[in-house]
Structures are given as C-alpha cells and as structure tokens.
Chain A
Amino acid sequence: MHEAIFPKEVIAGVPRLTLTGRERLHVEQHQGLMDYEPEHIVLRTVCGLLRVTGAGMGFQMYTAAEAVITGRIDQVSFTEREGRR
C-alpha cells in the first residue's frame, strides 16, 4: 500500500513564490499584509516576513490567501522577526 505523498507547502502552509522576470511575483499562502509602500511590501508567512523591495510596486490582485505583486522587483527576502523593517 502506497502512502499518499502531499506537497510540503500544502501540509505545512508554507508560502509558494513564483517570480516571473522582475515584474511579477505571485505569492500563495501568505498570512496577511504587514506593510505596503510602492518601494517595499512586507507579507507575513509561516516562514517569517517576506520582504519585497523595488519601485512602483502594487498588487495586481490581493486576497486572504494569495497576492500578485507587480512593478519593478529588486529583492525578495525573508526575515525572522515580525513588524519592523
């Protein structure tokens, strides 16, 4: 009998990031918007804070579970601590 194999991100709720070039970042399974400026966006995830920096950024789409960030993306990074830049 085979044991069912589930992707880790489905079980643990870890975020899945899809970066298309430097203009579009698709974030799935985030836990909420912490900060939003055209130069940086901070999303909370189970892995920590997801910080996206760039210029002229905005949300093409935002829901409770996923967000699509568009604009010029310079950097995508995770930090352990919440709340502060």
Chain B
Amino acid sequence: MRRSLRKWPVVVRVEGLNLNRFVRTAGEAGIRLTQVRRLSLRRLKALVREEELPALTDIAVQGGWQLHAGERKGSGRVLAWLSKRWLLSAGAAAALIALAAASRVMWRIEVVDGGSYTADIQSALQELNISAPMLRCQVDIGQLREALEWRYPRIAWIECGWRGTTLVIRPVTGVLPMQEETPTGMRHVVAARDAVVKQIVTRSGTPAVKPGDIVRAGDILIKGEERTSDGAVRPVAARGRILGRVWQAAEIVMPVTETSTRYTGNRQTVWTVRTPWFDFWPMADCGYDTWDTSVSEMPLCGIFLPMTLHMETRIEAICERSRRELQDVKAEAEAAALRKLYEIAGGEESLIDIWGNCSMIDSEKVQASAIGEMLVEIGVQSSPSDMAAPEQSEDSG
C-alpha cells in the first residue's frame, strides 16, 4: 500500500534565483516534473512523484533553493486519508463486500394478486425447493414459470421476476368467454321437493304442469324447449317461477311418568392425594345404590409439582317415578312439537297454516305432532349433467 502510494504526485513549491536551472537540473537528474507553473520571478510550483521527492530535495539543497513539499493530489490524497484510517477503510470494504454478497441472495418471495392461488403457489414453491433465503442463481425463472403454468392450467400466464432481492410471482387469471347457448345447453326447471303447484310463471321454455298438479321431487316443471313458428322444436334453458304448497311435520314423544330425586340425608366424604400418574392411597367404594357426587380439587404444591388434594362427597339419593297429569303432558308435548316445527320451517312467518294432533301410545307415552303448510318456490334449474334424470322422472311422474 505504502509503495503504491509513493507513485502519487506531490505538490512542491520552490523559491530562489535562477529557477530555470532548477528545472533543468531536475530534468537532467531524471526527475519528471509535471504541471510546472511560474508563480513569480522567484517562485515556482510543480508536481513530482513522491518517490522522486528526496532526489528533488537534494537538488534544491545543493543549489540553494528552498523547497516546500505539500500534500498529495487527486485520488492519492484520498488514499492517504484512508490509509491513516485503516479501520474505517476495512469496515467500509467489508460492508461493500457484504452488500454485494447480500444482493446475490433471494431474501423474500412475494405472490402478487394471487387470490385463492396464493397458498397453493407457496406450497408449490416448497415442492420445487425454492424458499427464502437462497442464492438467486439457484432459481431458474424460466423453469419456475413453466412449472407453475403447467400446474395451473386455468391461469392465463404467470409472471415471474426479480424486484431487487425479492422473487415476485404474479398469476394472471384468464377470463373465460361467455358460453353460448347451444343445443347441448338445454335445461329444464325441475321440482326441488314434493308439492302441489299453486302458481307457475314461465319465462322461457314450455310449462309441463299446471296449478293444482301434484309433483314429486325431480319432476319437470318447465321443459327446456320451445316450439318455433315453423313447427320446429328449439332447445332452451328453461326459466320461470313456480310456487308450490309444501308441508312440514314435527313429532314429539313424551313419557307420561317423570323421575324425581329424593335425598335421604346420608353422606360420605372420602379423600386422597392425587397426581396425574397415581393416587397416594385408593378411595373407598361407595356403599349407596344411587348417589350424587360433589368433587373438589385443591392444589398442594403449586404449578411446579402437580399434586392435588382430591375430596369427594357422596350424597345418597333415591329415584322415584311418579305419574303426571295427562292434560299437562299433552299440552307440553304439543308446545314442544310446535317449537320443533318452527325450527324446521325456519320461523313462524313462512307458515300459512298449522295444525296438530296428540295421542297416547303404549299407555305410558304421549305422541304430539305439528304440521305446517308453506308456500315456497319449488323450481330449480337442472344442471346439464342431470339432464338424463329428469327425463326419466317425467315418465314416472
């Protein structure tokens, strides 16, 4: 470092008489002077390489000139400044090297506008062994794009590229063209459930039922065809609104007897010290036929040692069966059936008529049923794959 620095030019100022001789003598001594400028009659400024400065100084001393060497010029001056601060220079160099190395690494992967594909693209990248951080040269962008486009055929194209040290992947979803109505696009409107047709409004297609008809689930309500003026039949996607009367039933079975508990007043308390793995001593068996149990757990040693005092109190109880008033049971069963019907129908508002029935079965139980009538839309458009099934059901219906 120091040897190379000696090649940098240094400013020298010379004072004295007959400066021409000074320049000539320096030249004859093989010293290369540059930027020689006469400042005044007795003063001169020039640049000389630092390694030639001692020889020039000797010439000046021998000839009686006064020579003042100044600072280095140009980049040599910067290098001299840096050489005095080698720690700073080394740090800056290390930082530059680290920066250059870091810029060769992929630190992030970003999926832009991925939508529902985002998570799957990330798993696909893991399958391709692409994960941050890794060297950028190990990621083949073209190969990655091809692999992703092969994996997602419904995506129009995939943009892969670098933004700094981030791998950016942007799937561009294609917009499918509108499907044209073709002969294979014939679709019926079929019944979604058993019903009696109340009203039918046909917007396209040919109605196959009339108000008052009983239809079963799957029956064709509006056919997916229309007759043209020349007598030909044209397939269409049938549309319309069909209201039907449907019924919902809810049933409840309720016992006439009820079981009640009576405590005798006898009780037994047992306890043990319990750990998750074993009990310090076993607890005694209970001598009652039927009983209720009250348990309390008290930690003994805190959370670091899971040991608890386990205490059980057993209270003797006797179960007795008694017969209830039949009217009360019926009323309770009817109310329960009605509540169940509301839950099934989705609310009281949709029901246009409700009635119920209550009867005793097996002399021990009461069966209550509630039936509600609703007016609902029963027509659904069949999917192309279901076209065969409605045709068959049409015959059966």
Please give the residue numbers on chain A whose beta carbons come within 8 Å of chain B beta carbons, in ascending order. 32-38, 58-64, 67
Q: Note all chain B residues with C-beta closer than 8 A to A59.
A: 23, 33-37, 46
Are A37's CB and B27's CB within 8 A?
no
Instruction: Judge whether B35 and A32 touch: CB under 8 Å.
Output: no
Most buried by A among B20, B30, B33, B36: B36
Q: Which 10 A-B pairs have the closest CB atoms?
A: A59-B36, A64-B27, A58-B37, A33-B24, A32-B24, A62-B33, A61-B34, A33-B23, A36-B20, A63-B32
B29 partner residues in chain A, CB cutoff 8 A = 64
**Are B20 and A63 closer than 8 Å at their CB atoms?**
no
Q: Is B252 an interface residue (CB 8 A)?
A: no
The answer to whether B38 has its CB under 8 Å from any CB of chain A is yes
In the assembled complex, which residues on chain A have CB atoms less than 8 Å from the CB atom of B31? 63
A residues in contact with B127, CB < 8 Å: none
Residues of B5-60 at the interface with A, using a CB-CB cut-off of 8 Å, are 19-20, 23-24, 26-38, 46
A63 adjacent to B30 (CB under 8 Å): yes
Between A33, A58, A61, the greatest number of chain B beta carbons within 10 A of the residue's beta carbon is seen for A33
List chain B residues, Cβ under 8 A from A60: 34-36
Q: Which chain B residue shows the least CB distance to A68?
A: B34
Q: Which residues of A contact B30 (CB under 8 A)?
A: 63-64
Q: How far is the CA of A38 from the CA of B37 in the complex (A)?
A: 8
Whether A61 lies near B23 (C-beta < 8 A) is no
Question: Closest approach, in angstroms, between the C-beta of A18 and any C-beta of chain B?
Answer: 18
Closest chain B residue, CB of each to CB of A43: B24
Total contacts A-B at CB 8 Å: 52
Can you pick out 20 interface pairs between chain A and chain B where the beta carbons lie within 8 Å of each other?
A32-B28, A33-B27, A34-B24, A36-B19, A36-B20, A38-B38, A58-B35, A58-B37, A58-B38, A59-B23, A59-B34, A59-B46, A60-B36, A61-B33, A62-B26, A62-B33, A62-B36, A62-B46, A63-B31, A63-B33
Q: A32-B27, A58-B36, A60-B34 are in contact. List 14 more A-B contacts (CB 8 A).
A: A32-B24, A33-B23, A36-B19, A38-B38, A58-B37, A58-B38, A59-B46, A60-B35, A61-B34, A62-B23, A62-B26, A62-B27, A62-B36, A63-B27
Cβ of B24: which chain A residues have Cβ within 8 Å of it? 32-34
CB distance from B65 to the nearest CB of A (A): 14
Q: Are A36 and B23 in contact (CB under 8 A)?
A: yes
**B29, B31, B32, B37 pick with most chain A CB within 10 angstroms:** B37
What are the residues of chain A within 8 A of B36 when measuring CB–CB?
36, 58-60, 62
| Chain B residue contacts of A67, Cβ below 8 A | 27
**Assembly CA distance A59 to B37 (angstroms):** 7
Q: Are A61 and B19 CB-contacts (below 8 A) given A32-B27, A33-B27?
A: no
A64 to B59, CA, bound (A): 15
A33 touches B37 (CB 8 A): no
**Which residues of B have CB within 8 Å of A61?**
32-34
Residues of B within 8 A of A37 (CB): 38
Q: A36 contacts which chain B residues (CB < 8 A)?
A: 19-20, 23, 36, 38
- What is the distance, in angstroms, from B30's C-beta to the closest C-beta of chain A? 6
B28 partner residues in chain A, CB cutoff 8 A: 32, 64
In the bound assembly, the distance between CA atoms of A51 and B372 in angstroms comes to 129
Residues of B within 8 A of A32 (CB): 24, 27-28
Expressed in whole angstroms, the Cα–Cα distance for A34 and B25 within the complex equals 11
User: A44 to nearest B CB, angstroms?
Assistant: 9
Task: Closest A residue to B39 by CB, please name it.
Answer: A38
A60–B20 Cα distance when bound, in Å, is 15
B35 surroundings in chain A (CB, below 8 A): 58-60
> Is the CB–CB distance between A34 and B32 below 8 Å?
no
**Which A residue sits closest to B36, measured CB to CB?**
A59
In the complex, A62→B47 CA distance in Å?
Answer: 10
B280 → A minimal CB distance (Å): 104
Contacts of A35 in B (CB 8 A): 20
Complex Cα–Cα for A38 and B388 (A): 111
How close is B309's CB to chain A, nearest CB, in angstroms? 103
Smallest CB-CB separation from B19: which chain A residue?
A36
CA distance A53 to B329 in the complex (A): 136
Distance of A60 Cα from B34 Cα, bound (Å): 5
